[in-house]
A and B are shown apart, each in its own frame.
Chain A
Amino acid sequence: MRKHHSALGGVALALALTLTGCGGDTEPTVQETPSQSPSPTPTSTPTPKTPEEKAAAQLTKYLDVRDMAYRKRDINFKTLNPVATGDEFLQLQHVVASMTNENVTVTGQYGHTLAEPRNRGASILIIDCEDRSNVTWKNDGAVRKPDFTDPNGDPLRNPAPVEYTLVKDKGAWKVSDSDLLWDEPC
């Protein structure tokens, strides 16, 4: 489901950027530092190599963008374009627009735990275990309780698994669809 996910890694990144004055929706400035050293210094974050790793990294980025869009009720297309396409791209607009139109707000940080990607060839499926313990949804300023209800009318379990579909678009894996697996545990 496309309403509520974001990555813990993304939260840490957002906090780090905020502390360094680079928060919000602004893109972090890339500073290219010429090096005289013949051997590059290894970094602690390995570059994704396999399609599955690349897809997972893209999903993490997308969840960051999406969660930011929820909180700000605005979309930074510059950051959304590289990571989303298809229905997901449209649905995020729909959600954010509806939130604005109906005065629905989101505060707090989602937690995300990605499962092992499943490569289907033309697409890669990744289930995110989404934890919304620290997230509050409000309608017209009033906390919505329960925040979400399943098709049976019961409070939606937390955490809840969300299955994302990523497809290759212009050489990059992008999130194209999502499905809330409301009746399955994480």
Chain B
Amino acid sequence: MLRRLLAFIVALAGSLVIVMVTASAASADCVADPITGEVHCEDEDGGNNGGDGGGDGGGSSTCSYGGNEIPCTGPGGSVWSSAHGCYVGDVWDPGGAGAQPPPGQTNEDGAWHICYFPPPGSSWEPMWIQNGTVTIDPVVLAERAIASMDLDPIQIGIVPESGPNRVGLVGLPVWMWVDSPTDDTFGPITASASEGSVSVSATASVSSILWDMGDGTTVTCTGKGTPYADHYGKKDSPTCGHRYEKMSTDQPDGAYQVTATSHWVVEWTGGGQSGTIEFDLTTDSLPIRIGEAQVLTQ
């Protein structure tokens, strides 16, 4: 549990770095810094690998502008501000002399910042940003909220069951479901995080589960699945099932290794922005043995 949580947090941190880096590098591989003249290169795919069995990180966040989705971070680590309609960047201070605040404001109230306008742009001017209106990237707070949810992979429910004395049969239905689902394994779950005057609320839910059956096939189920009961007999699962076509005797340890990857979708809002973060959490593998009736009865 703790290991998975740590892996998840690491994955989240990785995804945040990706967001910031790609924003800075504008998703290009290599760019030159106009101030230092140094060429910096970033791996577009780098860092977006997940945890070690517990989590498969990755994430993205988008903000909205004019009905379109845009990244929440812009060039130079700037942060999207829907209130200002631009990415708020560094303090605008050409010459270092210090620009005068607008009428009615003092330097204690805020500062002039560089604003980057998404296309199509119409102006080119610094923006007076009052203190507290843009203090922290809401995405950061969203990530914190997610980390506090203490999310886990699901518990696998499957028939035939896993165990040394349990064997399923080729061609018979396999039922898969989320065993004992909880808020932190399937959602929905809501958490919030705040810093200063910015507060973000995030709600996470599992949108689908990818079942890797170990025989080269995967099954995607959108719900929790249906727990098997004896009275179902040899019926197919109405929601999430599979049939093995071959015995598992030629597999390592004589069993198919089944995993379930839950795809989490987190909707967050706060700081005048909203966005979506998605990531996966994968279970440890569960061995399922499959034989044939004629073999078992011999």
Interface membership of B124, Cβ < 8 A: yes
Q: What string of 1s and 0s marks CB contacts (under 8 Å) between B74-109 and chain A?
A: 111010000000010110111100000000000000
Q: What is the number of contacts between chain A and chain B, taking CB atoms within 8 Å?
A: 121
Which of A80, A144, A180 is close to B31, meaning CB atoms less than 8 Å apart? A180
B117 at the interface (CB under 8 A from A): yes
Instruction: Enumerate chain A residues within 8 angstroms of B181, measured Cβ to Cβ.
Output: none
Q: Are A90 and B35 in contact (CB under 8 A)?
A: no
**Chain B binding surface SS class:** loop
Distance between Cα atoms of A84 and B121 in the complex (Å) = 10
Interfacial chain A residues near B35, Cβ < 8 Å:
98-99, 102, 104, 139
A148 interface neighbour in B32, B74, B92, B124, Cβ under 8 Å: B32
Alpha-carbon distance A88/B28, docked complex (angstroms) = 9
Secondary structure type dominating chain A contacts = mixed
Knowing A97-B114, A148-B37, the reply to whether A179 touches B32 (Cβ < 8 A) is no
Would you list which residues of chain B between 143 and 187 have a CB under 8 Å from chain A?
none
- The reply on A115 being an interface residue by CB < 8 A is no
Q: How far is the CB of B73 from chain A (nearest CB, A)?
A: 10
User: Could you mark each residue 255-269 of chain B with 1 if its beta carbon is under 8 Å from any beta carbon of chain A, else 0?
Assistant: 000000000000000
Question: Is A133 an interface residue when CB atoms closer than 8 A count as contact?
Answer: no
**A18: chain B residues within 8 A (beta carbon):** none
Give the one of B29, B75, B92, B122 with max A CB within 10 A: B75
Taking a contact as CB atoms closer than 8 A, the residue among B29, B76, B120 that contacts A77 in the complex is B120
A61 on interface, CB distance cutoff 8 Å: no
A108-154: which residues lie under 8 A (CB-CB) from chain B?
137, 139, 144, 146-151
Task: Name the B residues within 8 Å of A85 (CB-CB).
Answer: 119
B67 within 8 Å of A by Cβ?
no
Interface-forming stretch among A1-9, A31-39, A41-49?
A1-9
A89 located at the interface, meaning its Cβ lies under 8 Å from any Cβ of chain B in the complex:
yes
> A77-B122, A88-B26 known; 7 other A-B pairs, CB under 8 Å?
A3-B34, A94-B76, A94-B116, A98-B35, A148-B32, A151-B30, A181-B30
